[in-house]
Chains A and B, each alone.
Chain A
Amino acid sequence: MEVIKSYLDNIFMNLPKNKEMERLKNEMYYNMEERYHELKIEGKPENEAIGIVISEFGNVNELLEEMGIDPEENKGDYTLIDVEESRKFISLKNKTSRLIGIGVGLILLGVSLLILISLLVDRNLILQTLPKNTRETIPVIILLLMVIPAVVLFIYSGTKLQKFKFIEDGQFDLTSDV
């Protein structure tokens, strides 16, 4: 089934991305999937079944013409990215995911500490010697100490990724040279 999926992905890659096209693509995928299963039931080997399904797809330009879409029109809108740039994006994405993970961890840790320390303070188990106000403020300060670096990490990741926003939005084409 992966073959059929990537076949369709390839065909739809350069076409406008909207609800109508998404619906059409899904519909065609269902049809091809069903046809494939039917051929398998008839006893066709997998490769032959996939071959038949793809040969029965037809020519996409016929369809685009009817839908009033110029197949060449959308190509120019997208930025081309090459292998090096996609590697850069992937490693940056890995790095920022880690940073965001750390940020979330810090916030969770801060909240846990806030609850823990407040409890200990309430039960007079720690900081007994300090005045009441200070004792109540310390847990909040610890929370802030955790939240501030987390926010910094979020903002940093966001700005780094901003440059590659078009990739996240799917508005790109891959160059064919590898």
Chain B
Amino acid sequence: MISSDVIRGYNDTIILSLLIQGDSYGYEISRNIRTITNEQYIIKETTLYSAFARLEKNGYIESYYGEETQGKRRTYYRITPKGIEYYREKCKEWNLTKNVINKFVKELDDNGSY
């Protein structure tokens, strides 16, 4: 299980990447995150909805009411062109971050030295 502190800055990116593949709703998104990562990352319910609130406020996603199925009417989310643009930037940022962190993160040998 990954700690939510480490991944905090990238929840939005993860959600946007799923919405690029098509409109979706809360549970489907959280299930997809779970299965894609082989249960190594389980997004908390409140984390998911605060990400939705933030993304919507910034105009990166839009929400709409879906058709009612089995008595449930779900809120669906759709990515906006602005959201796609933001996703591209975040991907660039991640590649940079990854390169920087990789310069410092190395496997130590049994004696605790490189």
Binding site for B on A (CB under 8 A): 23-24, 27-28, 30-32, 34-35, 38, 56-60, 62-63, 65-67
Contacts and interface: CB of A to CB of B under 8 A. Distances in A.
A38 B35 CA distance: 13
Interface string B45-56: 111011101100
Chain B interface main SS type: helix
Contacts of B74: 27, 30
B10 interface: no
Contacts, number: 50
15 contacts: A27-B74, A28-B26, A28-B45, A28-B49, A30-B72, A30-B74, A31-B30, A31-B45, A57-B44, A57-B46, A59-B46, A63-B46, A63-B50, A63-B53, A65-B50
Given A27-B49, A27-B75, 5 more contacts: A27-B26, A58-B46, A62-B50, A63-B50, A67-B50
A58 B45 contact: yes
A56 B27 contact: no
A87 B103 CA distance: 67
B47 A62 contact: yes
A166 to B, nearest CB: 29
The 6 closest A-B pairs by CB, nearest first: A58-B44, A58-B46, A66-B50, A31-B27, A63-B46, A63-B50
Contacts of A28: 26, 45, 49
Contact of A23 (B45, B50, B75): B75
Given A58-B45, A63-B46, A35 B27 contact: yes
B8 to A, nearest CB: 10
Nearest to A34: B27
A60 B53 CA distance: 13
Contact of A66 (B42, B54, B72): B54
Interface in B20-72: 25-27, 30-31, 42, 44-47, 49-51, 53-54, 72
A61 B50 CA distance: 10
Nearest to B54: A66
Contacts of A38: 31
Contacts of B50: 62-63, 65-67
B44 A56 contact: yes
Contacts of A57: 44-46
Which of B44, B46, B51 has most A Cβ within 10 Å? Answer: B46
Nearest to A35: B27
B60 to A, nearest CB: 14
B45 to A, nearest CB: 5
A14 to B, nearest CB: 15
